[in-house]
Amino acid sequence: MFKQLSERFGPWVSLGIFLLMFLWLVMLVILPQILMIDYSLRPNLPPSQIGGPDDQYTLKNYATLANNAIHQSIFFKTIWSSVLVTVCTLVVCYPLAYYLAKVATPRQAALCVLLLIIPFWINEILRTFSWFIILSYRGPLNALLLSLGFIDRPIRFLSGDGGVIVGMVYAYILFMIFPLYNAIESLDSNQIKAARNLGSGWIRTHYRIIIPHAKPGIATGCIMVFMLSAGSYAVPALLGSPGSRWFTQIIYNWFFEGGDWNQGAAYAFILLLLCIGFIVLMMRLFKVGLGDIAR
Protein backbone atom coordinates (compact mmCIF):
# COMPACT_ATOMS: atom_id res chain seq x y z
CA MET A 1 0.00 0.00 0.00
CA PHE A 2 2.82 2.41 0.88
CA LYS A 3 4.51 1.60 -2.44
CA GLN A 4 1.35 2.40 -4.36
CA LEU A 5 0.92 5.69 -2.52
CA SER A 6 4.59 6.57 -3.10
CA GLU A 7 4.23 6.03 -6.83
CA ARG A 8 1.20 8.30 -6.91
CA PHE A 9 2.00 11.05 -4.39
CA GLY A 10 5.69 10.68 -3.64
CA PRO A 11 7.44 9.26 -0.55
CA TRP A 12 7.10 12.31 1.72
CA VAL A 13 3.39 12.83 1.12
CA SER A 14 2.79 9.09 1.55
CA LEU A 15 4.74 9.12 4.81
CA GLY A 16 2.64 12.05 6.03
CA ILE A 17 -0.57 10.18 5.16
CA PHE A 18 0.58 7.13 7.10
CA LEU A 19 1.59 9.24 10.10
CA LEU A 20 -1.80 10.95 10.15
CA MET A 21 -3.53 7.57 9.91
CA PHE A 22 -1.38 6.23 12.75
CA LEU A 23 -2.08 9.24 14.98
CA TRP A 24 -5.80 9.03 14.25
CA LEU A 25 -5.87 5.31 15.03
CA VAL A 26 -3.88 5.66 18.26
CA MET A 27 -5.37 8.89 19.65
CA LEU A 28 -9.01 8.45 18.65
CA VAL A 29 -9.45 4.66 18.67
CA ILE A 30 -6.89 2.68 20.65
CA LEU A 31 -6.16 4.97 23.62
CA PRO A 32 -9.85 5.80 24.36
CA GLN A 33 -10.70 2.09 24.32
CA ILE A 34 -7.81 1.28 26.67
CA LEU A 35 -8.95 4.06 29.00
CA MET A 36 -12.53 2.76 28.88
CA ILE A 37 -11.37 -0.77 29.79
CA ASP A 38 -9.32 0.63 32.68
CA TYR A 39 -12.33 2.58 33.96
CA SER A 40 -14.58 -0.47 33.67
CA LEU A 41 -12.29 -2.59 35.83
CA ARG A 42 -12.09 -0.11 38.71
CA PRO A 43 -14.67 0.69 41.40
CA ASN A 44 -16.47 4.01 41.53
CA LEU A 45 -14.62 5.85 44.30
CA PRO A 46 -14.46 9.45 45.55
CA PRO A 47 -11.47 11.41 44.21
CA SER A 48 -9.74 11.20 47.61
CA GLN A 49 -9.73 7.37 47.47
CA ILE A 50 -8.49 6.97 43.89
CA GLY A 51 -5.09 5.29 43.99
CA GLY A 52 -5.68 4.05 47.54
CA PRO A 53 -6.04 0.49 48.84
CA ASP A 54 -9.67 0.24 47.67
CA ASP A 55 -8.76 1.19 44.11
CA GLN A 56 -8.23 -2.36 42.82
CA TYR A 57 -9.18 -4.06 39.57
CA THR A 58 -12.51 -5.88 39.86
CA LEU A 59 -15.24 -7.42 37.69
CA LYS A 60 -18.09 -6.07 39.83
CA ASN A 61 -19.08 -3.54 37.19
CA TYR A 62 -19.59 -6.33 34.65
CA ALA A 63 -21.45 -8.45 37.20
CA THR A 64 -24.02 -5.66 37.54
CA LEU A 65 -25.52 -6.53 34.15
CA ALA A 66 -25.67 -10.23 35.03
CA ASN A 67 -27.53 -9.43 38.26
CA ASN A 68 -29.96 -6.87 36.82
CA ALA A 69 -32.83 -8.55 34.97
CA ILE A 70 -34.23 -5.25 33.66
CA HIS A 71 -30.92 -4.20 32.11
CA GLN A 72 -30.51 -7.68 30.64
CA SER A 73 -33.91 -7.50 28.93
CA ILE A 74 -33.08 -4.05 27.53
CA PHE A 75 -29.69 -5.33 26.34
CA PHE A 76 -31.16 -8.30 24.45
CA LYS A 77 -34.01 -6.17 23.12
CA THR A 78 -31.44 -3.72 21.75
CA ILE A 79 -29.63 -6.57 19.99
CA TRP A 80 -32.82 -7.93 18.45
CA SER A 81 -34.10 -4.50 17.44
CA SER A 82 -30.74 -3.58 15.87
CA VAL A 83 -30.81 -6.80 13.83
CA LEU A 84 -34.37 -5.98 12.74
CA VAL A 85 -33.31 -2.45 11.73
CA THR A 86 -30.43 -3.94 9.72
CA VAL A 87 -32.70 -6.41 7.90
CA CYS A 88 -35.34 -3.75 7.15
CA THR A 89 -32.68 -1.35 5.85
CA LEU A 90 -31.25 -4.08 3.60
CA VAL A 91 -34.69 -4.92 2.21
CA VAL A 92 -35.41 -1.25 1.49
CA CYS A 93 -31.99 -0.43 0.02
CA TYR A 94 -31.25 -3.46 -2.16
CA PRO A 95 -33.86 -2.71 -4.90
CA LEU A 96 -32.88 0.96 -4.91
CA ALA A 97 -29.17 0.15 -5.11
CA TYR A 98 -29.79 -2.23 -8.01
CA TYR A 99 -31.85 0.40 -9.80
CA LEU A 100 -29.12 3.02 -9.38
CA ALA A 101 -26.35 0.64 -10.47
CA LYS A 102 -27.92 -1.24 -13.40
CA VAL A 103 -31.21 0.32 -14.49
CA ALA A 104 -31.10 4.09 -14.11
CA THR A 105 -29.38 6.34 -16.62
CA PRO A 106 -26.49 8.46 -15.29
CA ARG A 107 -28.79 11.47 -15.10
CA GLN A 108 -31.49 9.53 -13.23
CA ALA A 109 -28.93 7.99 -10.87
CA ALA A 110 -27.42 11.39 -10.09
CA LEU A 111 -30.88 12.83 -9.37
CA CYS A 112 -31.78 9.93 -7.06
CA VAL A 113 -28.50 10.20 -5.17
CA LEU A 114 -29.01 13.94 -4.78
CA LEU A 115 -32.53 13.39 -3.42
CA LEU A 116 -31.14 10.86 -0.95
CA ILE A 117 -28.31 13.10 0.23
CA ILE A 118 -30.13 16.46 0.54
CA PRO A 119 -32.14 15.48 3.69
CA PHE A 120 -28.88 14.54 5.40
CA TRP A 121 -27.69 18.12 5.16
CA ILE A 122 -29.99 18.66 8.15
CA ASN A 123 -28.92 17.73 11.66
CA GLU A 124 -29.79 14.17 12.73
CA ILE A 125 -31.80 15.35 15.72
CA LEU A 126 -33.95 17.59 13.52
CA ARG A 127 -34.50 14.77 11.04
CA THR A 128 -35.47 12.44 13.86
CA PHE A 129 -37.80 15.03 15.37
CA SER A 130 -39.52 15.37 11.99
CA TRP A 131 -40.40 11.67 12.23
CA PHE A 132 -41.74 12.35 15.73
CA ILE A 133 -44.11 14.92 14.20
CA ILE A 134 -45.10 12.61 11.33
CA LEU A 135 -45.80 9.61 13.57
CA SER A 136 -47.41 11.50 16.45
CA TYR A 137 -50.98 10.73 17.56
CA ARG A 138 -52.38 13.81 15.82
CA GLY A 139 -49.68 13.99 13.16
CA PRO A 140 -50.00 14.15 9.38
CA LEU A 141 -49.74 10.36 8.89
CA ASN A 142 -52.75 9.66 11.11
CA ALA A 143 -54.62 12.55 9.49
CA LEU A 144 -53.95 11.11 6.02
CA LEU A 145 -55.04 7.59 7.02
CA LEU A 146 -58.20 8.96 8.62
CA SER A 147 -59.07 11.07 5.58
CA LEU A 148 -58.62 8.06 3.26
CA GLY A 149 -60.79 5.89 5.48
CA PHE A 150 -58.12 3.28 6.24
CA ILE A 151 -58.52 3.68 10.01
CA ASP A 152 -61.37 4.71 12.32
CA ARG A 153 -59.21 6.28 15.04
CA PRO A 154 -55.63 7.53 15.25
CA ILE A 155 -52.89 4.95 15.83
CA ARG A 156 -50.22 5.43 18.48
CA PHE A 157 -47.19 4.73 16.30
CA LEU A 158 -44.83 5.92 19.03
CA SER A 159 -46.13 3.63 21.78
CA GLY A 160 -43.58 0.85 21.11
CA ASP A 161 -40.44 0.21 19.11
CA GLY A 162 -42.08 0.76 15.71
CA GLY A 163 -41.28 4.45 15.56
CA VAL A 164 -37.67 3.81 16.64
CA ILE A 165 -37.18 1.22 13.90
CA VAL A 166 -38.66 3.49 11.22
CA GLY A 167 -36.51 6.39 12.37
CA MET A 168 -33.34 4.28 12.37
CA VAL A 169 -33.99 2.81 8.92
CA TYR A 170 -34.33 6.35 7.60
CA ALA A 171 -31.36 7.67 9.58
CA TYR A 172 -28.91 5.00 8.37
CA ILE A 173 -30.18 4.31 4.87
CA LEU A 174 -27.13 5.87 3.19
CA PHE A 175 -24.78 3.58 5.11
CA MET A 176 -26.45 0.61 3.47
CA ILE A 177 -27.21 1.88 0.00
CA PHE A 178 -23.75 3.14 -0.98
CA PRO A 179 -21.86 -0.11 -0.16
CA LEU A 180 -24.56 -2.04 -2.03
CA TYR A 181 -24.37 0.33 -4.99
CA ASN A 182 -20.56 0.08 -5.18
CA ALA A 183 -20.71 -3.71 -5.08
CA ILE A 184 -23.49 -4.12 -7.65
CA GLU A 185 -22.10 -1.44 -9.98
CA SER A 186 -18.85 -3.43 -10.36
CA LEU A 187 -20.73 -6.45 -11.71
CA ASP A 188 -20.44 -6.95 -15.48
CA SER A 189 -23.91 -6.38 -16.93
CA ASN A 190 -23.22 -9.05 -19.56
CA GLN A 191 -23.51 -11.70 -16.83
CA ILE A 192 -27.04 -10.53 -16.06
CA LYS A 193 -27.95 -10.45 -19.77
CA ALA A 194 -26.51 -13.94 -20.26
CA ALA A 195 -28.52 -15.32 -17.36
CA ARG A 196 -31.71 -13.73 -18.69
CA ASN A 197 -31.05 -15.02 -22.23
CA LEU A 198 -30.58 -18.53 -20.86
CA GLY A 199 -34.03 -18.43 -19.29
CA SER A 200 -33.23 -17.46 -15.72
CA GLY A 201 -35.95 -15.49 -13.96
CA TRP A 202 -35.28 -12.27 -12.10
CA ILE A 203 -35.38 -13.92 -8.67
CA ARG A 204 -32.97 -16.66 -9.73
CA THR A 205 -30.69 -14.12 -11.41
CA HIS A 206 -30.47 -12.05 -8.25
CA TYR A 207 -30.01 -15.13 -6.06
CA ARG A 208 -27.34 -16.84 -8.17
CA ILE A 209 -25.44 -13.90 -9.74
CA ILE A 210 -26.08 -10.45 -8.28
CA ILE A 211 -26.31 -11.22 -4.56
CA PRO A 212 -23.17 -13.46 -4.49
CA HIS A 213 -21.24 -10.70 -6.26
CA ALA A 214 -22.61 -8.07 -3.85
CA LYS A 215 -21.71 -10.00 -0.68
CA PRO A 216 -18.93 -7.58 0.38
CA GLY A 217 -21.31 -4.64 0.00
CA ILE A 218 -24.07 -6.44 1.89
CA ALA A 219 -21.66 -7.34 4.71
CA THR A 220 -20.31 -3.79 4.91
CA GLY A 221 -23.77 -2.23 4.94
CA CYS A 222 -25.08 -4.65 7.57
CA ILE A 223 -22.07 -4.06 9.82
CA MET A 224 -22.34 -0.28 9.60
CA VAL A 225 -26.12 -0.16 10.12
CA PHE A 226 -26.06 -2.62 13.01
CA MET A 227 -23.26 -0.81 14.83
CA LEU A 228 -24.92 2.58 14.35
CA SER A 229 -28.29 1.20 15.48
CA ALA A 230 -26.91 -0.55 18.55
CA GLY A 231 -25.00 2.60 19.53
CA SER A 232 -27.72 5.12 18.73
CA TYR A 233 -29.00 7.42 21.46
CA ALA A 234 -30.87 10.29 19.78
CA VAL A 235 -33.37 8.18 17.80
CA PRO A 236 -34.59 5.99 20.71
CA ALA A 237 -34.64 9.00 23.02
CA LEU A 238 -36.90 10.98 20.66
CA LEU A 239 -39.05 8.26 19.07
CA GLY A 240 -39.15 5.65 21.83
CA SER A 241 -41.80 5.33 24.51
CA PRO A 242 -40.97 4.91 28.22
CA GLY A 243 -41.27 1.14 27.77
CA SER A 244 -38.92 0.95 24.78
CA ARG A 245 -35.59 2.03 26.24
CA TRP A 246 -32.35 1.35 24.39
CA PHE A 247 -29.17 0.01 26.01
CA THR A 248 -27.36 3.22 25.07
CA GLN A 249 -29.81 5.13 27.23
CA ILE A 250 -28.79 2.97 30.20
CA ILE A 251 -25.13 3.76 29.45
CA TYR A 252 -25.95 7.47 29.22
CA ASN A 253 -27.71 7.32 32.58
CA TRP A 254 -24.70 5.68 34.23
CA PHE A 255 -22.34 8.33 32.87
CA PHE A 256 -24.27 11.57 33.15
CA GLU A 257 -27.15 11.01 35.58
CA GLY A 258 -25.73 8.44 37.98
CA GLY A 259 -22.21 9.84 37.77
CA ASP A 260 -20.78 6.29 37.76
CA TRP A 261 -18.31 6.39 34.86
CA ASN A 262 -16.84 3.05 35.83
CA GLN A 263 -20.16 1.26 35.53
CA GLY A 264 -20.97 3.12 32.32
CA ALA A 265 -17.61 2.13 30.86
CA ALA A 266 -18.31 -1.54 31.67
CA TYR A 267 -21.68 -1.40 29.90
CA ALA A 268 -20.12 0.45 26.94
CA PHE A 269 -17.37 -2.17 26.64
CA ILE A 270 -19.97 -4.97 26.65
CA LEU A 271 -21.73 -3.19 23.79
CA LEU A 272 -18.40 -2.86 21.96
CA LEU A 273 -17.77 -6.60 22.32
CA LEU A 274 -21.23 -7.24 20.90
CA CYS A 275 -20.48 -5.10 17.84
CA ILE A 276 -17.14 -6.87 17.30
CA GLY A 277 -18.92 -10.22 17.51
CA PHE A 278 -21.45 -9.05 14.91
CA ILE A 279 -18.63 -8.02 12.56
CA VAL A 280 -17.05 -11.48 12.86
CA LEU A 281 -20.44 -13.12 12.31
CA MET A 282 -21.11 -11.12 9.15
CA MET A 283 -17.66 -11.89 7.78
CA ARG A 284 -18.18 -15.62 8.35
CA LEU A 285 -21.77 -15.59 7.10
CA PHE A 286 -20.89 -13.85 3.83
CA LYS A 287 -17.44 -15.45 3.63
CA VAL A 288 -15.63 -12.14 3.14
CA GLY A 289 -12.43 -10.78 4.62
CA LEU A 290 -11.39 -7.35 5.83
CA GLY A 291 -9.89 -6.62 2.41
CA ASP A 292 -13.24 -7.30 0.71
CA ILE A 293 -15.08 -5.05 3.16
CA ALA A 294 -12.52 -2.24 2.82
CA ARG A 295 -12.79 -2.05 -0.98
Distance CA 279, CA 269 (A): 15
Our CA angle for 21, 266, 30, nearest 5°, is 10
Q: What is the pLDDT of residue 1?
A: 55
Q: What is the pLDDT of residue 174?
A: 93
What domains lie within the chain, and their CATH numbers?
69-294 (1.10.3720.10)
Distance CA 39, CA 50 (A): 12
Q: What is the pLDDT of residue 6?
A: 62
Q: What is the pLDDT of residue 181?
A: 93
Q: What is the pLDDT of residue 168?
A: 92
CA 18 to chain centroid, in Å, comes to 27
Question: CA 64, 66, 71, 77 torsion: positive or negative?
Answer: positive
Distance CA 187, CA 51 (A): 59
Please give the model's pTM, rounded to 2 decimal places: 0.87
Low-confidence ranges of the chain (pLDDT < 50): none
Tell me the three-class secondary structure of the chain, residue by residue.
Answer: CHHHHHHHHCHHHHHHHHHHHHHHHHHHHHHHHHHHHHHHCCCCCCHHHCCCCCCCCCCHHHHHHHHCHHHHHHHHHHHHHHHHHHHHHHHHHHHHHHHHHHHCCHHHHHHHHHHHHHHHHCCHHHHHHHHHHHHCCCCHHHHHHHHHCCCCCCCCHHHCCHHHHHHHHHHCHHHHHHHHHHHHHCCCHHHHHHHHHCCCCHHHHHHHHHHHHCHHHHHHHHHHHHHHHHCCCHHHHHHCCCCCCCHHHHHHHHHHHCCCHHHHHHHHHHHHHHHHHHHHHHHHHCCCCHHHHHC
Q: What is the pLDDT of residue 229?
A: 93
Q: Are 141 and 135 in contact (CB under 8 A)?
A: yes
pLDDT digits (tens, 9 = 90+) for 201-250: 888 888 889 988 899 899 999 999 999 999 888 888 888 877 778 899 99
Distance CA 80, CA 219 (A): 18
Q: What is the pLDDT of residue 291?
A: 65
